């Protein structure tokens, strides 16, 4: 057995205690959950080597946190324990196997799966149906009396429903703030010039611990109850799932996504289902909790020092991680926007390895004070671009220097411009800037624009770097011989590319408008413009702001950008060269049919998520061919939302508006 350095062990415990204090007492965590979990696992691993190393004050022996001195303290009649963790399917299987071995059974165990909310645990006590006391978890043994604050939360009943509830009933739950509520709260803070909350968990904790209940009452707090604490003898439950149904019948809010599960395999499938649903939920969850369903088996399995043996939390891949900023560079986008980017020591977060994180703009860099050499918390949720959440100032190098904006474009040395009232700083070089030229060409050739097969990013980089393409129309003058000389190209691939470029001359008006890369003109706006001007590009080029603002799906920013784009002579020249000299053209009635045959005339649909039978673009085209309008945004005027896999915020908005939700099968039936 290896000798344990007791100084190192005590330092580890001290570090965990500090993080506990910051998280539970100050509501200001300085490290992501993944870092805390790693340290706790390391501590448990060390203590498991020798029982004599375990001290009564070790963080492994109690739930983290302590009562705030500003509140009266309440001793829990039954401790509010924490949970052990599993982080993958193998650890889940090992947890299940341990339970079956301890119980001496070979058959699958019955579990209950519950989304693990990222909020603040509370205990609420009812006597004779009346709410008499509420407390935070605190250190698990003693919490803070927050009764008056809890009484302001509308989703917590002041008296229970019905007349068959236990005489004395303590329920435990999680108080949280929804994503929408969090957004609203920070908007109000910005308007009042106050400090914004970092995340919904901090917002919930801070709101629940206000000394003035009238302030708590203004915060959008919600709750889901998930367990019993103490309960009088007139209520003897048999299953955890039935307990939850009882809670619902008494007017206590229970998460509707909770499910009964049979065995570890079903638990893991439930975990995957919730992971897919996670981004669409209107509240934050950071994993799944599995509990043995049988209360009798729960009692037989019992507890370890800080957690029940019969339950565990299955954490999602960490959305936040610690890493170091190696350097900060400035990228130039296709519209000339100068974006500071943090080059990171690669770190696995949100299911992928991240080595870059956006810093958005210089205002953001100054606000967060990010510097090269800093240790930072990086966040990546779903498909969101990784971003730096917070700098750990205690780990900042002594020789660090603040970031300075370059005086000229880092790609072409052109002067930088910043329009009044906007945070974005742009290179003034336009298409003469190699970075903007590359970005514009990549956008032009992309699948949703001109769809030029074989013209990938690396090939475009070479075409620009070797000065083979200076304007968009130069693409159509390329010879296969000069393409064949580029890296990883040969005669056959060069000839195929020239043919693909030539083929793109036959397109659609909306695709061409989108391909031009006008700022704030996406697919839906381009389609609206094409349909409004009946595929006549000349009419669009001459339109003024008032005309454009009358078009649905064209906002004031997009309309102004269209006017500004065609006001520049060089842009009009390029467009005319592409359409007149190169011969790019499209049918003049590409989406029109006989109105009498338009079965979906007058209908407006929105498509979201991933379709399997066809692409979203193909679905939109087929809907338009039957007379329907396809919009990019959900509104009360929307006929229906077509929701594929991984549908997001549009689905939530459509459900709130009570709009019909169509599956892909419904879409196919509609089209047929």
**Mean pLDDT in residue range 618-627:** 82
> Which carries the bigger pLDDT value, residue 478 or residue 597?
478
Asked whether residue 68 is assigned to any structural domain, the reply reads no
Asked whether residue 153 is assigned to any structural domain, the reply reads yes
> Is the pLDDT score of 219 beyond 90?
yes
Q: Are residues 294 and 353 in the same domain?
A: no
**Mean pLDDT in residue range 232-244:** 90
User: Angle 158-161-164 (CA atoms, 0-180°, nearest 5)?
Assistant: 125
Query: Residue 593: its pLDDT value, please?
Result: 43
Asked whether residue 424 is assigned to any structural domain, the reply reads no
Task: Give the total number of structural domains in the chain.
Answer: 6
Q: Are residues 447 and 306 in the same domain?
A: no
3-state SS of 605-619? EEEECECCCCCHHHH
> Is the pLDDT score of 596 beyond 70?
no
> Is the pLDDT score of 636 beyond 90?
no
Q: Are residues 343 and 436 in the same domain?
A: no
Domain of 55, CATH number, reads 1.10.287.610
Asked whether residue 588 is assigned to any structural domain, the reply reads no
Q: Express each pLDDT in 479-519 by its tens digit.
A: 999 999 999 999 999 999 999 999 999 999 999 999 999 99
Domain of 614, CATH number, reads 3.40.50.10190
Of 102-106, 446-450, 471-475, 550-554, the range with the lowest mean pLDDT is 550-554
Of 22-31, 231-240, 364-373, 518-527, the range with the lowest mean pLDDT is 22-31
- C-alpha dihedral (598, 601, 607, 613), degrees to nearest 10: -20
Residue identified by tokens 């539970």 is 24
Q: Are residues 576 and 609 in the same domain?
A: no
Q: Are residues 308 and 357 in the same domain?
A: no
- Please report how the helices 6-20 and 33-48 are oriented relative to each other, as an axis angle in degrees rounded to 10: 140
Q: Are residues 293 and 155 in the same domain?
A: yes
Asked whether residue 376 is assigned to any structural domain, the reply reads yes
Q: Express each pLDDT in 251-285 by its tens digit.
A: 999 999 999 999 999 999 999 999 989 988 999 99
**Mean pLDDT in residue range 343-362:** 90
Q: Express each pLDDT in 77-124 by its tens digit.
A: 999 988 989 989 999 999 999 999 999 999 999 999 999 998 999 999
Rounded CA gap, 110 and 53, in Å? 36
Among residues 553, 581, 609, the one where a domain terminates is: 581
Rounded CA gap, 252 and 261, in Å? 23
> Is the pLDDT score of 581 beyond 60?
yes
Asked whether residue 648 is assigned to any structural domain, the reply reads yes
Among residues 369, 391, 418, the one where a domain terminates is: 418
Asked whether residue 621 is assigned to any structural domain, the reply reads yes
Q: Are residues 199 and 303 in the same domain?
A: yes
> Which carries the bigger pLDDT value, residue 513 or residue 52?
513
> How would DSSP label each residue in 431-455?
GGSHHHHHHHHHHHHSTTTT--TT-
Query: Residue 597: its pLDDT value, please?
Result: 53
**Mean pLDDT in residue range 603-631:** 84
Query: Residue 591: its pLDDT value, please?
Result: 45
User: What percent of the chain clears pLDDT 70, i.e. is strictly above it?
Assistant: 95
Q: Are residues 231 and 347 in the same domain?
A: no
Mean pLDDT of the residues in the chain: 89
Rounded CA gap, 131 and 145, in Å? 13
Given a contact cutoff of 8 angstroms between Cβ atoms, the answer to whether 526 and 562 are in contact is no
> Is the pLDDT score of 187 beyond 50?
yes
Using pLDDT thresholds of 50, 70 and 90, give the confidence band for residue 618. confident
Domain of 304, CATH number, reads 3.30.470.30
Using pLDDT thresholds of 50, 70 and 90, give the confidence band for residue 64. low
Using pLDDT thresholds of 50, 70 and 90, give the confidence band for residue 382. low
Query: Residue 664: its pLDDT value, please?
Result: 87
Given a contact cutoff of 8 angstroms between Cβ atoms, the answer to whether 292 and 62 are in contact is no
Strands (E), 554-665: 604-608, 629-631, 640-643, 661-662
Q: 194 Cβ partners below 8 Å, 6+ apart?
A: none
Q: Are residues 365 and 494 in the same domain?
A: no
The closest alpha carbon to 130, from 152, 156, 107, belongs to 156
Among residues 272, 290, 315, the one where a domain terminates is: 315
Burial of residue 495, with CB atoms counted within 10 A of its CB: 0-12 exposed, 13-18 middle, 19 or more buried: middle
Query: Residue 365: its pLDDT value, please?
Result: 92
Rounded CA gap, 223 and 271, in Å? 22
Q: Are residues 339 and 401 in the same domain?
A: yes
**Mean pLDDT in residue range 9-34:** 82
Catalytic residues, which ones? 116
> Is the pLDDT score of 47 beyond 80?
yes
Burial of residue 389, with CB atoms counted within 10 A of its CB: 0-12 exposed, 13-18 middle, 19 or more buried: middle
Q: Are residues 343 and 289 in the same domain?
A: no
**Mean pLDDT in residue range 29-46:** 88
> Which carries the bigger pLDDT value, residue 190 or residue 495?
495
Full domain range(s) for residue 140 = 75-315
Q: Express each pLDDT in 388-398 by its tens digit.
A: 989 999 999 99
> How would DSSP label each residue in 402-417?
-----SB-TTT-PBEE
Using pLDDT thresholds of 50, 70 and 90, give the confidence band for residue 27. low
> Is the pLDDT score of 321 beyond 80?
yes
Of 59-63, 265-269, 595-599, the range with the lowest mean pLDDT is 595-599
Domain of 348, CATH number, reads 2.40.50.140
> Is the pLDDT score of 195 beyond 60?
yes
Q: Which two tokens stand for residue 560?
A: 């102004």
Asked whether residue 589 is assigned to any structural domain, the reply reads no
Q: Are residues 223 and 89 in the same domain?
A: yes
H/E segment holding residue 541: helix 537-542
Domain of 438, CATH number, reads 1.10.150.20
Which of 29-38, 187-196, 411-420, 508-517 has the highest average model confidence (pLDDT)?
508-517
């Amino acid at each position: 057995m290896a000798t344990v350095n007791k100084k190192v062990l005590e330092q580890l415990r001290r570090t965990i205690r500090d993080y506990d204090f910051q998280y539970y007492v100050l509501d200001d965590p300085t490290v992501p959950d993944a870092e805390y979990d790693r340290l706790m696992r390391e501590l448990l691993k060390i203590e498991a080597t020798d029982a004599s190393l375990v001290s009564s004050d070790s963080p492994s022996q109690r739930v983290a946190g302590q009562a705030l001195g500003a509140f009266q303290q309440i001793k829990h009649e039954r401790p509010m324990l924490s949970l052990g963790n599993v982080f993958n399917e193998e650890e889940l299987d090992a947890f299940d196997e341990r339970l079956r071995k301890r119980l001496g059974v070979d058959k699958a165990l019955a579990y209950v799966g519950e989304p693990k909310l990222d909020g603040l645990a509370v205990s609420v006590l009812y006597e004779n149906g009346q709410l008499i006391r509420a407390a935070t978890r605190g250190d698990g043994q003693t919490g803070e009396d927050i009764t008056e604050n809890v009484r302001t939360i509308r989703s917590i009943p002041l008296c229970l429903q019905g007349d068959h509830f236990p005489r004395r009933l303590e329920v435990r739950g999680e108080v949280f703030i929804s994503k929408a509520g969090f957004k609203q709260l920070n908007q109000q803070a910005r308007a009042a010039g106050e400090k914004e909350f970092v995340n919904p968990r901090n917002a919930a904790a801070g709101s629940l611990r206000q000394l003035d209940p009238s302030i708590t009452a203004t915060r959008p707090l919600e709750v889901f109850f998930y367990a019993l604490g103490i309960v009088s003898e007139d209520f003897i439950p048999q299953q955890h799932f039935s307990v939850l149904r009882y809670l619902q019948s008494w007017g206590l809010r229970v998460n509707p996504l909770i499910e009964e599960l049979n065995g570890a395999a079903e638990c893991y499938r439930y975990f995957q289902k919730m992971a897919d649903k996670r981004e669409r939920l209107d509240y934050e969850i950071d994993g799944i909790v599995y509990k043995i369903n049988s209360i009798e088996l729960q009692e037989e399995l019992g507890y370890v020092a800080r957690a029940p043996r019969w339950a565990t939390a299955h954490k999602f891949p960490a959305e936040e991680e610690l890493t170091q900023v190696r350097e900060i560079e400035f990228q130039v986008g296709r519209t000339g926007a100068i974006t500071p980017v943090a080059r990171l020591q690669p770190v696995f977060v949100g299911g992928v390895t991240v080595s870059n994180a956006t810093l958005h703009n210089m205002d953001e860099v100054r606000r967060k004070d990010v510097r090269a050499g800093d240790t930072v918390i990086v966040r990546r949720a779903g498909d969101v671009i990784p971003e730096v959440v917070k700098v750990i100032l205690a780990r900042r190098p002594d020789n660090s220097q603040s970031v300075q904006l370059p005086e000229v474009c880092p790609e072409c040395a052109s002067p930088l411009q910043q329009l009044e009232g906007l945070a974005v700083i742009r290179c003034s070089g336009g298409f003469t800037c190699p970075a903007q030229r590359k970005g514009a060409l990549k956008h032009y050739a992309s699948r949703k624009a001109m769809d030029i097969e074989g013209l990938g990013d690396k090939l475009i980089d070479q075409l620009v770097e070797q000065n083979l393409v200076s304007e968009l129309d130069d693409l159509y003058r390329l010879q296969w011989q000069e393409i064949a000389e580029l890296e990883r190209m040969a005669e056959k691939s060069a000839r195929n590319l020239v043919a693909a470029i030539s083929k793109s001359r036959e397109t659609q008006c909306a695709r061409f408008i989108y391909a031009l890369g006008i700022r704030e003109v996406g697919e839906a706006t381009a389609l609206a413009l094409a349909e409004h001007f009946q595929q006549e590009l000349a009419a669009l080029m001459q339109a003024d702001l008032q005309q454009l603002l009358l078009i649905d799906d064209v906002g004031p920013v997009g309309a102004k950008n269209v006017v500004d784009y065609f006001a520049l002579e060089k842009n009009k020249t390029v467009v005319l060269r592409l359409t007149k000299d190169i011969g790019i053209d499209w049918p003049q009635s590409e989406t029109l049919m006989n109105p009498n045959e338009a079965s979906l005339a007058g209908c407006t649909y929105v498509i979201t998520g991933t379709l399997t039978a066809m692409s979203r673009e193909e679905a939109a085209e087929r809907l338009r061919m039957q007379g329907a309008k396809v919009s990019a945004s959900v509104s009360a005027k929307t006929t229906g939302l077509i929701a594929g896999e991984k549908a997001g915020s549009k689905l939530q908005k459509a459900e709130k508006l009570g709009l019909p939700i169509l599956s892909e099968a419904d879409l196919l039936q509609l089209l047929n």
